[in-house]
Chains A and B, each alone.
Chain A
Amino acid sequence: MTITIEPERPPTQEPPRFRRPSLPAMLLLGGVLGLLVHGYTRGAWVDPTTLVEGVGRLGEFLSDAFPPNTERLPEILSSLLTTFEMALLGTIIGVILSVPIAVAAARNTTPHRIVYILARGFISLFRTVPDLVWGLIFVVAVGLGPQAGVLAIAVDVMGFCGRFFAESIEEVDSSLTDSLRATGASETAVLGGAVLPSCLPSFVATTLFALESSTRSSVVLGLVGAGGIGIELSVSMQLLRYDEALTIILAIFVVVLAVERVSSAIRRRLI
Chain B
Amino acid sequence: MTGNAAAVDITGLVKAYPNGHRALDGVDLRVDAGETVALVGSNGAGKSTLLRCLVRLHEPTAGTIRIDGTDVRSAGRSELRRIRTDVGFVFQKYPLVHRVSAFHNVLHGAMGRHGSRCLSPLTAPKELRREAMEALDRVGLAGLAAQRAGTLSGGQQQRVAIARMLMQRPRLILADEPVASLDPIAGVEIMELLRDVAAERQLTVIAALHQLDYAIRFTGRIVGLQGGRLRLDRSSEACLTDDLVGIYGTAAVPA
Contact = CB atoms under 8 A, between A and B. Distances in A.
Contacts of A197: 97, 99-100
Majority secondary structure, A binding face? helix
Given A188-B116, A189-B111, A189-B116, A183 B84 contact: yes
Interface string A178-199: 1111111110110011100110
Contact of A193 (B84, B86, B111, B113): B111
Contact of A183 (B97, B98, B116, B168): B168
A182 B57 contact: yes
A178 B57 contact: yes
Most buried by B among A179, A184, A200: A184
Contacts of B14: none
B93 A175 contact: yes
A184 B57 CA distance: 11
A176 B111 contact: no
B85 A178 contact: no
A173 interface: yes
Nearest to A188: B116
A100 B95 CA distance: 24
Interface in B69-92: 81-89, 91
Contacts of B93: 173, 175
9 contacts: A175-B93, A176-B97, A178-B57, A179-B95, A184-B85, A184-B111, A184-B168, A189-B116, A198-B99
Contacts of A193: 97, 108, 111, 118-119
B116 A192 contact: yes
A184 B81 contact: yes
Interface residues of A, number: 21
B108 A180 contact: yes
Nearest to A178: B57
A193 B100 CA distance: 10
Contacts of B99: 197-198, 200-201
Given A183-B84, A183-B85, A184-B84, A175 B112 contact: no
Contacts of A183: 84-85, 88-89, 108-109, 111-112, 164-165, 168
Contact of A178 (B95, B111, B113, B116): B95
B205 to A, nearest CB: 15
Interface residues on B, range: 20 to 34
Interface of A: 173, 175-176, 178-186, 188-189, 192-194, 197-198, 200-201
Given A184-B111, A198-B99, A179 B91 contact: yes
A189 B85 contact: no
Contacts, number: 77
B40 to A, nearest CB: 22
Nearest to A194: B97
A197 B108 CA distance: 12
Contact of A182 (B55, B82, B98): B55
Contacts of B115: 186, 189
A173 B93 CA distance: 10
Most buried by B among A183, A192, A197, A200: A183
A144 B164 CA distance: 56
Nearest to B57: A178
Given A181-B84, A200-B99, A175 B108 contact: no
B45 interface: no
B67 interface: no
Contacts of B83: 184
Contacts of A186: 81, 111, 115-116
Nearest to B164: A183
A189 B88 CA distance: 17
B50 interface: no
Contact of A176 (B57, B85, B87, B95): B95
A182 B111 contact: no
Given A175-B93, A198-B97, 14 more contacts: A176-B97, A179-B89, A179-B95, A182-B55, A182-B57, A184-B86, A184-B113, A185-B111, A189-B116, A189-B118, A192-B119, A193-B108, A197-B99, A200-B99
